Structure 1
Amino acid sequence: MDNINLPLTREFASCLDRFGLQNMIDFPTHIKGHSLDLVCCSGLTPSKPTADVFPATDHSLLTFNAVLRLSTIKSPRLISFRDIKDINIATLCSLIDSFPTTDSTSNPDELVTLYNTRLTNTLTSIAPLKTRSVSFSTSAPWFTPELRSMKAKNRQLERLYKRTGLTIHNDMYTSHITQYKDLISQTKSTYYSGLILSNEGNSKTLFSVLKKILHPPNSLPLHLYSTESCNSILDYFNLKIHSIHQHLHPNASPLSPPALPPTCHLFSSFLLPTASELSVLIHKSKPTTCQLDPLPTTLVKSCRL
Structure 2
Amino acid sequence: MTLPSTLKPSPPLVSFHHNLRSLSPSRLSTAVSTSLPTLNVFSTLDVNTATDTLSSTLTTCLDNICPISSRPACTTPPSPWLSDDLREHQTDLRAAERRWWKSKDSADLGKYQFLLATFSDNFKSAKNSYYQNKINSTTDTRSLFRTFNTLLCPPPPPPDTSLTPDVFASFFTNKVTSISNTFSAPYSVKHLSPVCNSSVFMFSPLTDTEVSKLLLSNHPTTCSLDPIPSHLLQAISPSILPALTHLINTSLLTGTFPTTFKQARVTPLLKKPALNPTQIEYYRPVLSSHSWQKHLKGQFSIKSLPISHRTSCWMTISQALKVDTPPRLPCCLSLSR
More helix per residue: 1 or 2?
2
TM-score with structure 1 length normalisation?
Answer: 0.44
Q: Which has the higher contact order (CA 8 A, sep 6+)?
A: 2
Bigger Rg over Cα = 1
